[in-house]
Amino acid sequence: MFDYIEEILNTLKKNKLRAIMTGFSVAWGIFMLIILLGSGKGLQNGMEFSFRGSSKNAIWVHPGETSESYEGLKKGRRIRFTNEDYNALKDELRGVSNISGRMYLRDNAPLTYNNEYGIYSITCVMPEYNGIETLDMVEGRFINKIDIDEFRKVIVLSRPIVEILFKDEDPMGKFLKVGGISFKVVGIIEDPQQRDSKKAFLPISTAQRVFNGANRINNLALTTKSTTVEENKQIEASVKKILARRHHYSETDEKAIFVWNTLEHFKQAQGVFAGIRMFIWVIGIMTIIAGIVGVSNIMIILVKERTKEIGIRKAIGASPLSVVWLVLSESLFITAMAGFIGLFIGMGVLHILNIVLAQVSQGNDQINYIFSNPSADFGVAIAAAIVLIFAGLIAGYIPARKAAAIKPIDALHDE
């Protein structure tokens, strides 16, 4: 085995520059394939990161303004959601796992604790909201049904707000003021998508009563049990139908309400990136083919230069198959060595890029929305190895056939 490898190396040494340049073209092709695939994965991770804040099968419903006259009512009417809309959707919809109304407190409800003060994003929700937006409970609990039923004055804070208002003090069980009204801290959360996000959550029933919200809801959110876009679209259509009936506007009025179907958009984005990956593979393989042509050319030259040697081999009993294998093995050796060098360098560059991005994202989390964790996994490495082996066989096939066809008598007369 070692003698065989030594023979291949001795053959390549006679054509060092040619072998190096040909090997470089193969290595470059594999390197570019790995970098392109890793970059495509990084872009896809960035897209998926933007969906981390909510369930991938969520439907968000926002009120709008009618653009059509309907049943004697003029166009231009503002749609306003109420608790009754929430109840209607909860009672009539099928295939829904979580549903919640949302109401926002604006600048008139600052958070105050002792001498600390701040205006933050305050959202009033129902208990099911924790299954719609992804929130990690660090300590305590989220809003529960008893809070809603008994109009409890409780609040859930994100960790950044706790660090600002309470400093090193434990906030659990303490009271802070929301717009001058005392609320008890019952939980601390962390947003996995935006760790620096400053959010606070109140029971929606309490907020409606305390802050004169009546029965109004700013928007609605729900998650479905659907696994396909078609099923999610059916539930979306039911939502539109129920709300159109309740608010007396045409179901065809696209401006009366606005619906964001995350599953539909997530699947669309996945389809786009599947196409990008396919395009990358095509570009990468075409680049590798250019290297294969170079390997094939050098093998043809080597066969021509070794015509007399091959003739002698055949004259003393070497079979055509052994001659074919001799040429193919040399072709595979060049392709494999160069290709794996390109593969390892490509993986190394992606690893270094990952480290740099991880450090940058600590100071600016927004980078993760664009480009995150570019990588080429083990499956990609295996696929690249298979491509290399196949490429080596193709590169050596024509020269191998030519070598096997050499007749000993002609080879001995070859100059």
pLDDT digit string, tens, across residues 27-53: 777 787 788 777 777 776 766 665 555
Q: Is the pLDDT of residue 283 over 90?
A: no
Q: What is the pLDDT of residue 82?
A: 93
Q: What's the whole-number average pLDDT of the chain?
A: 79
Q: Is the pLDDT of residue 193 over 70?
A: no
Highest mean pLDDT among 129-138, 163-172, 315-324: 163-172
Tokens, residue 197:
């996000």
Q: Is the pLDDT of residue 152 over 90?
A: yes
Q: What is the pLDDT of residue 366?
A: 58
**Percent above pLDDT 90 for the chain:** 27
Q: What is the pLDDT of residue 298?
A: 67
Lowest mean pLDDT among 57-61, 154-158, 313-317, 352-356: 313-317
Tokens, residue 317:
């009993």
Q: Is the pLDDT of residue 414 over 60?
A: no
Q: How far apart are CA 388 and CA 335, in angstroms?
A: 6
Q: What's at 86, amino acid-wise?
A: Y
- Looking at residues 340-356, what average pLDDT do you find? 82
Q: Is the pLDDT of residue 4 over 60?
A: no
Residue 142 pLDDT class (50, 70, 90 cuts): very high
Q: Is the pLDDT of residue 139 over 80?
A: yes
Neighbours of 145 (CB within 10 A): 11
Q: Is the pLDDT of residue 79 over 80?
A: yes
Length of the chain, in residues:
415
**19 against 169, higher pLDDT:** 169
For 272-354, list the strands marked E by DSSP: none
Displacement of CA 332 from its chain's centroid (Å)? 36
pLDDT digit string, tens, across residues 156-165: 999 999 999 9
Q: Is the pLDDT of residue 279 over 90?
A: no
- Looking at residues 86-104, what average pLDDT do you find? 91
Q: Read off the pTM.
A: 0.63
Radius of gyration of the chain (CA): 33
